[in-house]
Structure 1
Amino acid sequence: MGILKSGINGPVRNKTGSSVARMHRNINVVTGAYRKSNKPPTALQLEAQAKFSLLSSFLGSIDDLVKTGFKQYSKGKDPINVASSYNFNHAFLVDGTDFTLNYPELVYSRGYIVPAESPGVLTLPAQIGFNWLPQRQSTYCRYTDLATFLIYNPAKKMAFRRALVTDRYAQGHLLDVPPNFAGDTVHCYMSFASKDGKLQGNSIYVGELICV
């Protein structure tokens, strides 16, 4: 039996007919009761499920970056789900019935802070170096903005990141990468945030390289 607490505008709980009421993130939600379908999933449904699983695996491996980077766009929703929805339409490279992640198009952060100017990456023994050009200061581009770096290894499905480790003025940063990354192709990203961490910027794809 469904229960209306404090009248029709108050919180509700339990099942009423074909509807189920529950509290989700401090919001009263009423949904239809789950009905198991005996119909097998279509090819399009299976493809969508596989794509969602692949994208979720990537975003889940950097959930700390995503939760911070998409927080201001979530408005009570799960930032991982918001990031998945934002990325989904451009997240894949399709070749017939096969598909892979389109790494240069993936985004883990969005915001007003200006991204790095002409960023680049280079590989060194057990290290990856990021660099970028100097930029004129403005409201959303300060020398004190802090950089976050992400290195993703598809072969091992591992993400190596360092958050807020150097400022924009430094124009470069060296990262020590895990020894077992040697010989693997990795994808590199970076983003800036304000010094106090309250404002984020768009993450950008910097490049692909092979670790040595």
Structure 2
Amino acid sequence: MGTIKQGILGGFSGKVGTVVGGTWKGIHYMRSLPTSVRNPRTEAQVMQRTKFMVTIDFLKPITPFIRVGFKNYASRQTAFNAAMSYNVKNAVTGVFPDYEMDYSNILVSRGSLLPAENADAVAAERSLNFTWSDNSGVSNATETDQAMALVYNGTKGESVFSTTTGGRSSGSATLNVPENWIGDTVEVYLGFISENGSLVANSVYLGQKTIV
């Protein structure tokens, strides 16, 4: 409750309705109360937060890779947040609350460098053998571009990756995986980064593979 100090035309202190009165250096003032915050758990907000959590669960095990893969989008935000923004919009599927990641639409690297061409991966003994066509000299691709290979194990919430797997001109690379992954189904991606690190290519999804 507010208190009037100098009659009905004087200043007051305290709260009266939606107004707060007070005195500062002998000057009487009034200010309105802040508008109440909207319900932070509206249906739309809960749906969006659920999409965020699904995306975070995928990105967290590959955070170091994301820092390289989305580095060119980190000028006004972190690379992780840039990856979050892209993948929430483009790679979350399903109907609330049963959202899940559409692995084929995920990008784990993004940029203007020419991506991998005719890329594939074949499971071998506790490893994945990557192959691609050497398209050096086409557009901005060079033979010294480094392959960025990533293997994501959704069952275990783990990943194995390398941002310097092999040169574009080599056409192949191998990535070893843990022994306890044998029998697990994994998601496989391949990107490229220029030798000086200034350019990154959009990653290419190579499908699901079963570790042998």
Scaled to the shorter chain, the TM-score interval is: 0.7 to 0.9
C-alpha displacement at 1:210, in angstroms? 0.9
* CA distance 1:171–1:97, shift in 2 (3 Å): same
Supply the AA of the counterpart residue of 1:58. Answer: F
Give the alignment's Cα RMSD to 1 decimal: 2.1
**Structure 1 unmatched runs, 5+:** 1-33
Aligned to 1:131, the other structure's residue is in SS state strand
- Report the Cα distance in structure 1 between the residues aligned to 2:101 and 2:153, rounded to whole angstroms: 12
Aligned to 2:163, the other structure's residue is in SS state strand
> Identity over aligned residues, as a percent?
30
- Report the Cα distance in structure 2 between the residues aligned to 1:142 and 1:136, rounded to whole angstroms: 5
Deviations 1:150-208 (A, max 9, x none): 00001111111111121011111111111111111100001111111221111111111
- Report the Cα distance in structure 1 between the residues aligned to 2:138 and 2:91, rounded to whole angstroms: 32
Q: Which runs of 4+ in 1 moved over 6 A?
A: none
- Report the Cα distance in structure 2 between the residues aligned to 1:180 and 1:132, rounded to whole angstroms: 28
- Report the Cα distance in structure 2 between the residues aligned to 1:128 and 1:159, rounded to whole angstroms: 13
Structure 1 segment 1-212 matched on structure 2, within 5 A = 39=39, 41-95=41-95, 97-212=97-212
* CA distance 1:125–1:70, shift in 2 (3 Å): same
C-alpha displacement at 1:45, in angstroms? 2.3
C-alpha displacement at 1:93, in angstroms? 2.2
- Report the Cα distance in structure 2 between the residues aligned to 1:168 and 1:137, rounded to whole angstroms: 10
C-alpha displacement at 1:47, in angstroms? 2.3
Deviations 1:1-41 (A, max 9, x none): xxxxxxxxxxxxxxxxxxxxxxxxxxxxxxxxx99858472
C-alpha displacement at 1:76, in angstroms? 3.1
- Report the Cα distance in structure 2 between the residues aligned to 1:96 and 1:51, rounded to whole angstroms: 9
- Counterpart in 2 of 1:11? none
- Report the Cα distance in structure 2 between the residues aligned to 1:77 and 1:36, rounded to whole angstroms: 29
C-alpha displacement at 1:117, in angstroms? 0.8
- Report the Cα distance in structure 2 between the residues aligned to 1:132 and 1:208, rounded to whole angstroms: 17
Supply the AA of the counterpart residue of 1:174. Answer: T
C-alpha displacement at 1:97, in angstroms? 4.2
Deviations 1:93-147 (A, max 9, x none): 2157422111111112111211111101111121111111232513511111111
Supply the AA of the counterpart residue of 1:169. Answer: S
- Report the Cα distance in structure 1 between the residues aligned to 2:36 and 2:193, rounded to whole angstroms: 45
- Counterpart in 2 of 1:12? none
Supply the AA of the counterpart residue of 1:59. Answer: L
* TM-score, structure 1 normalization: 0.77
**Structure 2 unmatched runs, 5+:** 1-33
- Counterpart in 1 of 2:11? none
* TM-score, structure 2 normalization: 0.77
Residues matched between the structures, number = 179
- Report the Cα distance in structure 1 between the residues aligned to 2:154 and 2:35, rounded to whole angstroms: 37
- Report the Cα distance in structure 1 between the residues aligned to 2:52 and 2:96, rounded to whole angstroms: 18
- Counterpart in 1 of 2:27? none
User: Any conservation in 1 of the 2:54–2:99 contact (CA below 8 Å)?
Assistant: no
Aligned to 2:192, the other structure's residue is in SS state strand
